Amino acid sequence: MTSSAHHLIVGGQRSGKSRQAEGLARQWLGASPAHEVVVLATATAWDDEMRARIARHQADRPAGMATVEEPRGLSRVLREQARPGRMLLVDCLTLWLTNWLMPAEGVADHAAWRRERDAMLETLSGLGSPVVFVSNEVGWGMVPMSRELRVFVDELGWLNQAVAARCGQLTLMVAGQPWTRPVDASEAYPGDVA
């Protein structure tokens, strides 16, 4: 599968990112009775509000979509779940990064994060499934006051750029409306900035 089969959907909170991704997954399922979709969910239920969000996302998913929960080992799960006829929907990169850089328990391991990020990016080029990624665009607001949050915003921006460079399509969600365009490899972010 070429990287042009992959698709990145970015936007702010409540912009319709997951709904857009699920719409692409429904189209995939409708194109052939042999098609499958597996949602790779990265959320961790650390409080009641987050548990309610996860439950709502699960309830809203169309029938016929299996779910695999993996908060950190995305490169491994992508390889394990990829196969012809199966779309993988990663929801979402923002929470995946959060689990690495702001773990509920313990201290962030930036070196381990970079190894996992690089492994995931490398996995995309030869993957046997198209992947739809969902991620937040968080860099349009004020510069965060804390160093930890500035590092997070920078890392997410670099991650989104690196994933986009490996996708054929990019969709920006604004107020529930998609703005989609092909990725121009000559403009795309090539890799690491650390």
Half-sphere exposure of residue 132: CA atoms within 13 angstroms, side-chain side: 21
**What pTM does this model have?**
0.89
Range of the domain at 159: 3-182
Query: Considering the domain boundaries, does residue 93 fall inside one?
Result: yes
pLDDT value, residue 187: 61
pLDDT value, residue 128: 93
Query: Considering the domain boundaries, does residue 72 fall inside one?
Result: yes
Domains held by the chain: number: 1
Query: Considering the domain boundaries, does residue 112 fall inside one?
Result: yes
pLDDT value, residue 56: 74
pLDDT value, residue 3: 66
Q: Distance between CA atoms of 14 and 176, rounded to whole angstroms?
A: 8
Query: Considering the domain boundaries, does residue 192 fall inside one?
Result: no
pLDDT value, residue 57: 67
CATH, residue 117: 3.40.50.300
Largest Cα separation within the chain, whole Å, is 51
Model confidence over 27-85: pLDDT tens digits?
999 999 999 999 999 977 666 776 676 677 667 766 778 999 999 999 999 999 999 99
> Taking CA 109 as the corner, what is the angle to CA 104 and CA 115, rounded to the nearest 5 degrees?
125
Query: Considering the domain boundaries, does residue 29 fall inside one?
Result: yes
Burial class (CB in 10 A: 0-12, 13-18, 19+), 37: buried
- Give the start-end residues of each E strand in 6-50: 7-11, 36-41
Q: Which helix (H) or strand (E) holds 14?
A: none
Mean pLDDT of 176-190: 78
| Three-state secondary structure call for residue 154 | helix
Cα 103 versus chain centre, distance: 18
Model confidence over 82-137: pLDDT tens digits?
999 999 999 999 999 999 999 888 889 999 999 999 999 999 988 999 999 999 99
Query: Considering the domain boundaries, does residue 187 fall inside one?
Result: no
Spell out a b/e string for 63-83, using b for 16 or more CB atoms within 10 Å of the CB, else e: eebeeeebbbebbebbbebbe
Query: Considering the domain boundaries, does residue 49 fall inside one?
Result: yes
Query: Considering the domain boundaries, does residue 86 fall inside one?
Result: yes
Q: Which residues are catalytic?
A: 57
